[in-house]
Amino acid sequence: MNPQQAIDYIHHINWQFCNPGLERIGELCEKLGHPEKKLRFIHVAGTNGKGSFCAMCSSVLREAGYTVGTFTSPYIRTFYERMQINGENISPDELAELTAFIRPIADSMTEKPTEFELITALSFLFFQKHGCDIVVLETGLGGRLDSTNIIDSPILSVITGIGMDHTAILGDTVAAIAKEKAGIIKKEVPVLFGGEDETAAAIIRDTASTQNAPFILTDHTALTLKTADLSGSTFDFENRQNLFIPLLGLYQLKNAANLLTAVDILREQGLNIPDKAVYDGLKNTVWHGRFELVSHNPLILFDGAHNPQGIRGAVNSIKQYFPDEKIHLFTGVLRDKDYTEIAGMLAEVADTAFTVTPDSPRALPAEEYAAVLQSAGVSACPYDTVADGFSAARQAAKERKKPLLCVGSLYLYADLYPLF
């Protein structure tokens, strides 16, 4: 099996897009000899901020001298980045090797695993093979029935925050979504909640209590921003002074506060994480697609925000970095998102939009989204292709000396990356 054959098999069209449940992943892991039982995990769920938290956490632990596996989704640039060890993607050849090993086992199952379940099992094999000390494991969707929840007892469970997303699957209230995310909490394993919604916090606290799991809430009032520009942010948190993160977007400060709180818990769990590793790990964190500066001339930013909570974070960041001007937008959105609310938020900072249809069966057509933005007060024009729309947006930004924000769907990044 070569790398392309491995990718084609993983993306096989007969497998269901989303079918929550732990029966298939449980059977698959059993047939593989339970590689997940030979690993230590930090399990991360949440509506927004999961990937950024995972990137920061992995960077800090790597600086502390640990061999760190990282499992995230979806991918931004290439499929291989979903599984990393010490910041390096799984190689195409190794993915092919592991897929060739797992394929006959998966095919022998009466009820075949979904794509995400197969990828999860592949990652367990990969991390076990390389003897990872710790795996930072991001959930795919929800928590309770997510395939990553097959793990028995992580050293820490993290729920970064709760917002309204994937409501058709997880529920249409904050309480319902919080209950699903809280499903990752394990008996006597500390759980950190990094959000600020009181309803969600109460549900997560109650779930932790039933599991006799220590509940820790990030104190975001202890966060003080000192400087913020397009090179990054300097801040204080509790007794730590002058920390620096290169990740843009003011919301990254809250993700960093969650990480710093997690470090203190992990130290109590026996991990050796020196202060220098904390400072250096944050300073060296790399995470693409979240308020990423991808061009200086013209000035272009990409943010994968795709729900109201994420869009609010992006809009607030635009106001911080560009307080006295309206920007241009290059945008596409999925039909199952609250795109009317999203458009209203974007209208606070933008005067012109170039809309496209993301590469997803769930995409909202560019023409429809342009009409929604027009109704919100933003001049908008739809384009047939991502390349045409981005070319027009970049040219307009350059001629008018306007910042350009690409936003609305992570699906756009892979198409845009070669064009950046």
- Contact between 221 and 245 (Cβ < 8 Å): no
Query: Which helix H or strand E contains 236, and what residues bound it?
Result: strand 232-237
| Cα distances (angstroms) measured from residue 55 to each of 24, 166, 211, 256, 362 | 28, 23, 28, 10, 28
Give the pTM: 0.88
Q: Could you give the number of structural domains in the chain?
A: 2
Give me 139's structure tokens. Answer: 């959930």
Same domain for 308 and 390, yes or no, is yes
**The pLDDT value given to residue 166:** 47
For 79, the 3-state DSSP assignment is helix
**Average pLDDT for consecutive 10-residue bins of the chain (420 residues)?**
93 59 94 97 92 96 98 88 96 97 95 92 98 96 87 95 60 82 95 93 96 97 95 96 95 96 97 98 94 94 88 93 94 90 96 92 93 97 95 96 91 84
Question: What's 52's domain CATH number?
Answer: 3.40.1190.10
> In terms of domains, do 301 and 399 share one?
yes
In the chain, what is the straight-line distance between the N-terminal and C-terminal CA atoms, in Å? Answer: 33
Using the 3D structure, point to which of 240, 255, 283 is the last residue of a domain: 283
Report the alpha-carbon distance of residue 230 to residue 296 in Å, rounded.
10
Q: Name which of 265, 379, 307 is nearest 47 in CA terms.
A: 307
Residue 79 and residue 19 share a domain? yes
CATH number at residue 388: 3.90.190.20
Query: According to the model, what pLDDT value does residue 420 have?
Result: 79
Q: Which residues span the domain enclosing 359? A: 292-416
Verify that 50 and 141 share a domain, yes or no: yes
| Residues 202 and 244 grouped into a single domain | yes
| Pair (269, 397) in one structural domain | no
How high is the pLDDT of residue 306? 78
> Which of 283, 315, 343 is the last residue before a domain boundary?
283
C-alpha–C-alpha distance, residues 71 and 54, integer Å: 8
Q: How far apart are CA 316 and CA 251, in angstroms?
A: 9
Same domain, 191 and 316: no
Bridge partners of 234?
227, 244
- Supply the pLDDT for residue 16: 46
In angstroms, the Cα distances linking 94 to 80, 305, 315, 356, 372 are: 10, 32, 40, 36, 45
Dist. CA 268–CA 363, nearest whole Å: 45
Q: Are 392 and 354 in contact (CB under 8 A)?
A: yes
